[in-house]
Structure 1
Amino acid sequence: MKLLLILCVVLYGLSMLFILLYSLAQAHLLYRFRLFLRQKRPTLPAPKVWPLVTVQLPVYNEKYVVERLIDAVAALDYPADKLEIQLLDDSDDETTALIQQKVQQYLHLNLQHIQRQDRSGFKAGALKYGLELAKGEFIAIFDADFVPDPLFLKKTIPYFADAKLGMVQTRWAHLNKEYSVLTRLQALALDAHFFVEQVGRNSQQAFINFNGTGGVWRKTTILDAGNWQDDTLTEDLDLSYRAQLKGWQFLYLPEVESRAELPPVMSALKSQQFRWTKGGAESAVKHLGTVLRSEKPLQTKYHALAHLLNSSVFVAVLVASLASVPLLWAKVHYLLPVQAFQAAAVMLFSFIVISLVYFQADAFGKASGRGSFLLYFPLFLSMSMGLALHNAVAVWEGWTGRKSPFIRTPKFNLEGRQQRWQDNFYRSLKIPFTTYLEGLLGLLFLGVAAWGVVQKEYSLLIFHSMLALGYLLVFYYSFQSYRRI
């Protein structure tokens, strides 16, 4: 029993220490973001001759949004003779027919409908295949659910006058953040990344990442860095690190918006989260050693460490939450010294930092709307905790090298609350086993919180209550979102 308690203390302590170290990096990014706000980016003149740009649109079974995407890209304000549009279509449903019909409306544009024999390499394979055919000096990429600003290219291309610049990333904005509570919470999370984290890293020349869409690459940079590779589920993060390790510079433009759809249902969100977290873990395994051995400054390495391991926070949350249950029991029965629990108060710093990061992001992105941050932020934290099991499984698969296919996030084309998601053909059929475990964990932490109240031990009450709420909400939204036949 004593050895088990010691193990729980060690696991809990290491998990909370990891979260603390991660929050220190977040605090510095917040500081750098605040400094950036005092600066004014100079306006660059348009080039005398606009370069040839290839816009790549990787598509796989996107019948709900592909027509909107084509219309938006066709509306780009850029010289038509300098614009090449590649519809990289891997679809095996009616999306292909919709594309063929839509292309006929834009015969005045160089709009190419490109199909491969197979989906080898998934999105990375499609981008690589298209790159072999691309004539553009620069490559702009948009996922199927994006609606680019007509001035997107004119706002980004001038920065490539710097010959060392390899990639320009723009900020994601949200087409449907007001659709539901779930979309508001996602907007809050993404705004923290696209305001505080990306700005904070880029302002100090630390590693940032191309976010897979809403950005422009110099074609030479992609080729010099080894081209698109499909050995991780986040081909964008992987290529970003390879390019920056090669010496290419990246630029992030928070003032340029690229609007996109947020997953309106939990099953779609989980699909996206699994790919991002597992791919992040795979990229960490692939690049962390190289980064730490590089000649980059220590501060840059620290931020790269936090960046590549940010998905591992879910593992830390899961381990800490499970270890906290026997620790609460031990405290009630006076089996551990009080000092062991007093030391945990230091972790309050982590909560304060994370709160400030999201508060700052919310102030700019207005994700919660109408000054409702105090309502949405605790709910966001709870839901994030409730996703710990699902995402920890993804991280573990990434760490251990277990391979899985690239599962696209279903798109819905829902912007108004009156629109329905229930009829979407792409919703998943099968309810994963982990969904039932999430429901059981919700009941477990609800029972632990109630037991703590009965024992008049309130030190972990908020933590366990948030875990209970988070897991039960994730279970509920997950169960209702899977398409059952």
Structure 2
Amino acid sequence: MPETSKPHFYFEAFEDRRPPPPLPHSPLIESLWQFFVVMALAFGARYIWWRWTGSLNMEALWLAIPLALAETLSYIGLVLFAVNLWSTRDPPMQPPPYGINECVEQPLEQDRPVAVDVFITTYNEEEELVRLSIRDAKAMRYPHPIDLRIHVLDDGRRPLMRQVAQEEGVHYITRDNNIGFKAGNLRNAMEHTSGDFIVICDADTRLFPTYLEHTLGYFRDPHIAWVQTPQWFYDIPQGRPLPDWLARHLGTPGRWIGRAVERLVGPVPVGRDPFANDPKMFYDVILRRRNPANAAFCCGAASIHRREAVMQAALRAYGSSVEQQVGKLSKGIREADIKRDFEEAVRGQIAVETEFTPYKFHVSEDIYTSIVLHNDPDQRWKSVLHPQVESKMLSPQDLLAWATQRFKYAGGTLDIALRDNPLFKGRMSLRQRLMYLSTFWSYFGGLWNLVFLLAPIVTLFTGISPLRAFSMEFYLHFLPFVILNELAFMFGTWGIAAWEGKASYLSFFSINLRALWTVLKGEKIKFPVTPKSRQEGNFLHMVWPQIAIVALTVLGLVVAGLRVFVFGATQELPVLIVISVWSVYNIAAMLPMIRAALWKPEDDPSQPDDARGQPAAPVHGF
């Protein structure tokens, strides 16, 4: 297209950024993590036992039991998280295969180059944004002959998108409906393609030239079904140094104050990653450490799949679904001959009416398909989390986009857990089941996190303690557990800033609960497209639950302080000390999400002035 009509994108200022390397594996750090986490779990079990047997306030069981139950459920999550993070064992990278015979159990009579289809899924994203993804996909290199085909999968059916694909010399695939959301889009594309391997990209997934060189080698093992690579958001705001930020508001004295603070605590970037979008904790710690259990699930974009695995699993799931429906219809027929004739008569019709879905028609089609493959009764399909970043993509630019994405993740996962739970069926190993249970369990966390947020507020306003007493016995049970737990996860997440993850998990409670309620009501989780440009407007209305928690906690601290220090209820002082520390932690966890609602890109000095304040893009279904 003419250079004069080229659109300006805010992320052009970040094109030179490079992804961080994978966290280095240290046997010493891993041993320290394992030692401290075993100690933490042991002292945690001791603490939970004491909570139920020796600490409940029998005069306020309505408050004591919910809190003890919340602590117990949270402890179970801690056990599952420890199992997940136990060790790092990366599958060794293999050299890229020369031909397809190096990737299959039964070689062909005549070898041929590996065939790869790149699927770039799009719906309503800017066409020129997709053009960038196409060009980067075309720039991938490979040391051997390869049959590489790039396809734009346009569920928006846009003439301009078709034109971009034609100009770039890639295939354009569309359909006349949007059944099955992204999974339906992928299925439609599989019907029109034939590559041995399929690379799945979102509209903004910018593949690096090394992508195929570094991933196809894993498929030398004929049982590898897919390889997931980390997602990296290259446009995350880096923030403004504290001295510069204070100088902007307070002048020279502010700069002096900022420098003094940074001399004490180190660099303090203001406005850095306001939505805690950095996925390094998830990919480089959580998912990477599922490799030893063969439980790294697919996360959609930036993954590559063996077509044979996807099709075989789909065929088995399809056949199983047909037989289940036939069995239900013939359940009441007792005569064997009549039952057999009836089943033969209806089987064909049911087979025609049943959808064949290589990728599950679901808002979380990626993890759902992973479950199907890991549960395959005839093939022990394997998965790999390749630790090195091989692509870049765009992060949510405002709280609406962030919440849209998180609600989709939470709702989709909870829907699978409650409606088609894989934990008690199929052929998954115990470790695989525990890994998936860890994922499901984390999304139920909104239930006990709500208790952790409300319990101190109730105590501050009423003076009623959920514990019999906050005596020395409490500290002897609680402090060893907390200290050992913090030490354990300091080593377990070595190299990662863990506080942002903890804060977002706690402040995530409202979205989590909304997703759970939506699933329990039987409503279908929609598939909203995450906006790729910042939406204009104020987002404080989206964080009213977090604002309410902060306001009620602060007011409760004032009420409790007056009761103790003004009206003489000094017997409540030990309770107030513990609850105050707890309350400050809760407030600190809520503030980042509240600040995110007010964040504007002007606070990022690396962003050019003319790229700020992008017009709002349409948001569907949230």
Question: Do the aligned partners of 2:181 and 2:362 also contact (CA within 8 Å) in 1?
Answer: no
Q: Secondary structure at the match of 1:154?
A: helix
Given that 1:119 and 1:125 are in contact with CA atoms closer than 8 Å, whether structure 2 keeps it comes out as yes
Shift of 1:299: 3.6
Q: Which has the larger radius of gyration?
A: 2
Which of 158, 168, 190 in structure 2 is aligned with 1:106? Answer: 168
Equivalent residues in 2 for 1:326-345, closer than 5 Å: 326-328=458-460, 332-333=463-464, 336-338=467-469
What do the CA deviations read for 1:82-140 (whole angstroms, capped 9, x no partner)? 11222111226xxx355334324433xxx211122122221111111111112111111
Contact 2:94 2:217 (8 Å CA) reproduced: no
Question: What is the CA distance between 1:301 and its match in structure 2?
Answer: 2.6
Cα distance between partner residues in 1 of 2:556 and 2:459:
11
Aligned equivalents of 2:488, 2:433: Cα separation in 1: 21
SS in 2 for 1:251: strand
Distance (whole Å) between structure 1 residues aligned to residue 202 and residue 542 of structure 2: 28
1:360 paired with 2:422, answer no
- Contact persistence 1:171–1:255 (CA under 8 A): yes
- Which string of whole-angstrom CA distances, capped at 9 and with x for unpartnered residues, describes residues 282-328 of structure 1? 1212443x323445443433222112222222332123212332245
Distance 2:409 2:553 in 1: 27
Opposite residue 23 of structure 1, the aligned amino acid is: L
The match for 1:276 is 409
Partner of 2:250: none
How far has the Cα of 1:447 moved from its partner?
2.2
Map of 1:435 onto structure 2:
543
Rounded Cα–Cα distance in structure 2 between residues aligned with 1:195 and 1:112: 34
Residues 1:472 and 1:257: Cα distance change in structure 2 (over 3 Å): same
- TM-score norm. by structure 2 comes to 0.64
Q: Deviations over 1:326-385 (max 9, x none)?
A: 24556x4567412796565576269527842774252xxxxxxxxxx4xxx545533442
Task: Provide the rounded CA distance (Å) in 1 between the counterparts of 2:409 and 2:185.
Answer: 19
Q: Percent identity?
A: 19
Query: Distance in 2 between the 1:397 and 1:354 partners?
Result: 36
Q: Residues 433 and 298 from structure 1, CA distance in 2 versus in 1: closer, same or farther, beyond 3 angstroms?
A: same
Change (3 A) 1:224 1:472: same
CA contact (8 A) 2:117 2:199 kept: yes
Structure 1 residues 14-29: aligned runs within 5 Å: 14-29=69-84
The corresponding residue for 1:58 is 121
Displacement of 1:410 in angstroms is 0.7
Is 1:196 the counterpart of 2:285 in the alignment? yes
- Partner of 2:73, secondary structure, is helix
TM-align CA RMSD:
3.3
What is aligned with 1:325?
457
- Rounded to whole Å, the distance in 2 between the matches of 1:129 and 1:484 is 27
Which of the numbers 127, 147, 151 marks the counterpart of 1:82? 147
Q: Report the equivalent of 1:137.
A: 196
Paired AA for residue 373 in structure 2: A
Distance 1:429 1:279, change over 3 A: farther
1:445-464 equivalence runs, <5 A:
445-452=553-560, 455=564, 456=573, 457-464=576-583
Q: For residue 67 of structure 1, what is the amino acid of its counterpart? A: R
C-alpha deviation, 1:54, in angstroms: 0.9
Instruction: State whether structure 2 residue 522 is matched by structure 1 residue 401.
Output: yes
What are the within-5 Å matches in structure 2 for residues 118-133 of structure 1? 118-133=177-192
**Counterpart Cα distance in 2 of 1:451 and 1:228:** 59
Residue number among 74, 85, 88 corresponding to 1:30 in the alignment: 85
Count of matched residue pairs:
444
Work out whether 1:167 is the aligned partner of 2:226.
yes
2:396 is equivalent to residue 263 of structure 1: yes
TM-score (norm 1): 0.81
* SS of match in other structure, 1:186: coil
Unaligned runs of 5+ in 2: 1-56, 100-111, 240-270, 315-356, 565-572, 601-614
| 2:197–2:307 Cα contact (<8 Å) kept | yes
When residues 50 and 319 of structure 1 are mapped into structure 2, their CA distance, relative to the original with a 3 A threshold, is farther
Q: For residues 617 and 131 of structure 2, what CA distance do their matches in structure 1 show?
A: 28
Following the alignment from structure 2 to structure 1, what is the Cα–Cα distance between the partners of residues 487 and 113?
44
Pairing of 1:146-157 with structure 2 (within 5 A): 146-157=205-216
2:376 maps to 1:314: no
What displacement does 1:19 show?
Answer: 2.0
Residue number among 287, 297, 305 corresponding to 1:209 in the alignment: 297
| Aligned counterparts of 1:484 and 1:77: Cα–Cα separation in 2 | 34
Answer yes or no: is the 8 Å Cα contact 2:94–2:220 preserved in 1.
Answer: no
Q: What secondary structure sits across from 1:314 in the alignment?
A: helix
Structure 1 residue 71: Cα displacement: 1.5
- Aligned twin of 1:243: 373
